[in-house]
Structure 1
Amino acid sequence: MELGQRLVTHGAKVTFVNTETTQRVITNNWLEIDKDCKELMQMVSIPDGLEPWEDRNNFDKLLPAMRKRIPSELEQLIEIINKQEDNKITCLIVDFWLAWALHVTKKMEIRRAIFFPASTATLATVMSIPRLIDDGFIDNNGIPRTSEMIRLTKAMPPIKPKNLVWACVGDSSNIKDHFHNHVEIVEAATMTEWTICNSAVELEPAAFNMFPKVLSVGPLLASNRLANQAGHFWEEDSTCIPWLDQQPACSVIYIAFGSITNINQTQFEDLALGLELANRPFLWVVRQGLTKEPTVAYPDGYMDRVGSRGKIVSWAPQQKVLAHPSVACFMSHCGWNSTLEGVTNGRPFLCWPYFADQFHNETYICDIWKTGLRMKEDEAGIITRERIKSKVEQLLSDKTFKSNAMGIKEKVESSVKKGGLSHNNLTIFLDWIHGKDADNKDHQV
């Protein structure tokens, strides 16, 4: 949605297509956005192929259903829009993971582009599937054959075969299905005229060197709207901002693990007690579903002991939180959006990845950018309260992490400003959308 809004501000008319289920969730938590965006960015939805009562978190059912249903629905939608003579679709931009949707443009005069929302290193790994097979890291069904670390180039983050994006979904049958879905996505991606990525060359030079045709246009953030993001899966609790206003500068630990991460009750309690032992102010996002239990259970007497030193919310306006001067560090699952939001605000990280590309991002943070620390598990698979306390103290006592984080922030800020590489790339992409003979007519994306 940030990409859509950026296109709107540069004169494109945008129709944003969600599944019906996602559309309902987002519109329920919709925030006021720029007036021009409201006029030009139309929100529409199509079915995902599942019945209303079926679980959208069950990717084994969701992905095949979407693959079967969405192309025909999307084609019908474009045909309906194109009946309006002055409102025809001239370009289709699809999320990489839905690249097969590009097939609907075969019989239409529509430009094609792919948007990759994760790191370029992750894209490089997926696009290198034939090489991973040839080098013996995976078999022809995507199943890991070794525990040896994968490193596509010396300067790129290594990854364990078991953490490949298709290999972290359960048993070998599931891995096989997801892998062949990825193979189909990669094949469909060859139809595109452009691939743009929500990243910056300054963050991932080696990955962009591997795939020089991928265009960096990020980070795409809501900074131009004072961090008022458009589109939320959860209702934000804005009371955390006045609470942050009352805290000393660079004192608060911010903890948030994204939309789908979950931890068991034992780990939840150790995290709670670790934050207590750290003896610093903390802002903790405890959303519904963070633990597998129906209700969250804090340690006995916990709330009384931490008192006003701890602020717990169900969801936070994260970009505003990370931009706040009282925040000292970010304990994160290392999803790419969260990673970019932390990077652009110069925040050191405590890394707690959950699955897939989050391990790529952890390696960037800890080994390449050197702006954070890993939260290592013990033999029982738990990050203990003592380890949490120790890592907080280590991160915040060593000024090198903050210094490195500020250096990365400055590079990224320069890239998205006028004259910077990401800014220039976005301008090139917009010129292509409008066409070389672009006049003052609106173009529909």
Structure 2
Amino acid sequence: MGIPHLLLIPYPTVGHVNPLMHLSHALAKHGCNITFLNTEFNHKHAHAADAAVGSQIKFLTLPDGLGPQDDRRDNRKLIFSIKTHMPPLLTKLIHDINALDVHNNITCIIVTVNMGWALEVGYNLGIKGSLLWPASATSLATCDCMPRLVDDGIIDSDGNPTKKQQIKVSPNIPMIDTANFPWCGLGEVLFHHIMQEMQTLRLGEWWLCNTTYHLEPAAFSISPRFLPIGPLMASDNNIISLWQEDTTCLEWLDKQPHQSVLYVAFGSSPLIDHNQFKELALALDFLNRPFLWGIHPRNDNKLNNACAYPDGSKGKIVGWAPQKKVLNHPAIVCFITHCGWNSTIEGVCGGVPFLCWPFLKDQFVNKSYICDVWKVGLGLDKDENGLILKEEIKNKVEQLLGDEDIKARSQKLKELTLKNIAKDGHSTKNLERFIDWAK
């Protein structure tokens, strides 16, 4: 058996690029040759660590079909542009790569969701494929059940819930409110895209999941394709970020007392309106303890407002924090988060208690795991106007910090989770099994 040559193709958003990049480093460590394919736009804007990422990972690009004036935050526009423009370009690129070195032909293609068309390209060229699902295995299980949910009358043919209810897609999986399915709010066009995408992704023999068996055991009863290989972790000198990270916050954290700092970050989506923003800022001021607040660079207005407020506070506000390092810093005492899966996994691996503030899609199910299954965090309740008030934030932070059981469970969950990527860990063995298949 030769050395496998894997072509990795993420959907071009940070929540897809990062876990696939972490996987590429894990595969390279196991001796695989990696070609990592970015869109030209993303590659131009990526900030690589100065350290070399190693000769086993080569970066290539293809255009996404959009112009410089197009808004790439419009997922519908980006998905359909990529699906229209990239397939013939990818076919040619694979032929060119294989012609360069006949002893190093591409043996497997790994994509994230929305890039299933690349598995079709590979299939037509006789190249096998797999999926890396960037969210929880439970959200993958939910999407895999879409046709059944339509047949059972739980959602209509456009993905809308037929009535307000809570259901289980499988025994032992937390209850899911039908208003919080991963596709809710995306519109019928994207619902039909996901329905079709789930069928296309069946060309991938493995559906790799950035999770562990013990975190979501029930999800793995859905399909034998599911393979937990997480937690996928960035090595500190090999991180590629789509935004420039502000590392000054690490020096600031070094000066703070042990377990004193609240870390607040809501991922890459601009989700909080002005009134809610103000309630959070006032709550942080009232708590009168150090906080680190990461406000996404897209939220320039909010970042400027926050930097001016509150004056003379104990906090530090940054645009984009090196989150893995922050969550593993001894000064951090809790994580106020939107419960995106990458943030959830990083928080678990940091052993940090959570204060959960989900906004959309799979974040509500992730919150159920954090609060109800793993019991390592608390949720925030909205008032009758849909606002989370400063008093609620302050009270829940104080409740969380006073709960020694939650702190102990957080540390225990960290140890259990990291065991999976040790030498003989469950996820390490699964990854080795996958690499043997790829050969």
Same fold (TM over 0.5): yes
Give yes or no for the alignment of 1:358 onto 2:353. Answer: no
In the alignment, what sits opposite 1:217?
229
Q: Which residue in 2 is equivalent to 1:19? A: 39
Question: 1:4 Cα deviation (Å)?
Answer: 0.7
CA distance in 2, matches of 1:351, 1:270: 16
TM-superposition CA deviations, 1:332-367 (whole Å, max 9, x none): 111111100000111110111121111111111011
Quick one: higher RCO (CA 8 Å, sep 6+), 1 or 2?
A: 1
Counterpart Cα distance in 2 of 1:104 and 1:368? 40
Equivalent position to 1:189, from 194, 201, 204:
201
Alpha-carbon distance, 1:299 to partner: 9.5
The answer on 1:377 being equivalent to 2:382 is: yes
1:198 aligns to 2:210 (yes or no): yes
Q: Quote the Cα distance in structure 2 between the aligned partners of 1:228 and 1:274.
A: 36
**Contact 2:351–2:410 under 8 Å retained in 1:** yes
CA 1:302–1:61: 2 relative to 1, 3 Å: same
Q: Which amino acid aligns with 1:252?
A: V
| 1:132-165 CA distance string (max 9 Å, x none) | 1122220112122111012113421222222222
Q: Is the 8 A contact 2:205 2:225 kept in 1?
A: no
Does residue 136 in structure 1 map to residue 153 in structure 2? yes
Q: Which residue of 2 aligns with 1:417?
A: 422
Query: Shift of the alpha carbon at 1:228?
Result: 4.0
Pair 1:212–1:87, CA change in 2 (3 A): closer
2:15 matched to which residue of 1?
none
Distance 1:318 1:374 in 2: 21
* Pair 1:110 & 2:127 matched: yes
- Per the alignment, residue 280 of structure 2 pairs with 271
Name the CA shift for 1:22/1:157 in 2 (closer, same or farther; >3 Å). farther
TM-score by length of structure 2 reads 0.91
Q: Contact 1:262/1:289 (CA < 8 Å) preserved in 2?
A: no
Distance in 2 (CA, whole Å) between partners of 1:286 and 1:372 is: 22
- Aligned equivalent of 1:147: 164
Quick one: distance in 1 between partners of 2:219 and 2:401? 30
Q: Which residue of 2 aligns with 1:55?
A: 71
- Bigger shift: residues 116-125 or 192-201: 192-201
2:310 matched residue in structure 1: 302
Offset at residue 38 of structure 1 (A): 2.6
Distance 1:235 1:352 in 2: 25
% same residue: 42
* Higher mean displacement: 60-69 or 418-427: 60-69
- What does residue range 24-423 of structure 1 map to in structure 2 within 5 Å? 24-26=44-46, 29-33=47-51, 35=52, 37-84=53-100, 85-169=102-186, 175-222=187-234, 225=235, 227-290=236-299, 293=301, 296-298=304-306, 302-304=310-312, 306=313, 309-423=314-428
SS in 2 for 1:96: coil
The alignment of Structure 1 onto Structure 2 pairs a total of residues equal to 418
Distance change >3 Å, CA 229–CA 378, structure 1 → 2:
farther
Q: Secondary structure at the residue paired with 1:55?
A: coil
Secondary structure of 2:130's aligned partner: strand
> Hey, what's the Cα distance between the residues in 2 that align with 1:150 and 1:318?
33
Segments of 5+ residues of structure 1 without an aligned counterpart are 170-174, 435-445
8 A contact 2:123–2:203 mirrored in 1: no
Amino acid of the residue matched to residue 222 of structure 2? Answer: M
Q: Provide closer, same or farther for how the CA distance between residues 205 and 375 of structure 1 changes in structure 2, counting only shifts above 3 A.
A: same
Output the CA distance in 1 between the equivalents of 2:131 and 2:310. 48
Q: Deviations over 1:218-274 (max 9, x none)?
A: 01002xx3x345211211111111211111111110011111132111111111110
* Structure 1 length-normalised TM: 0.90
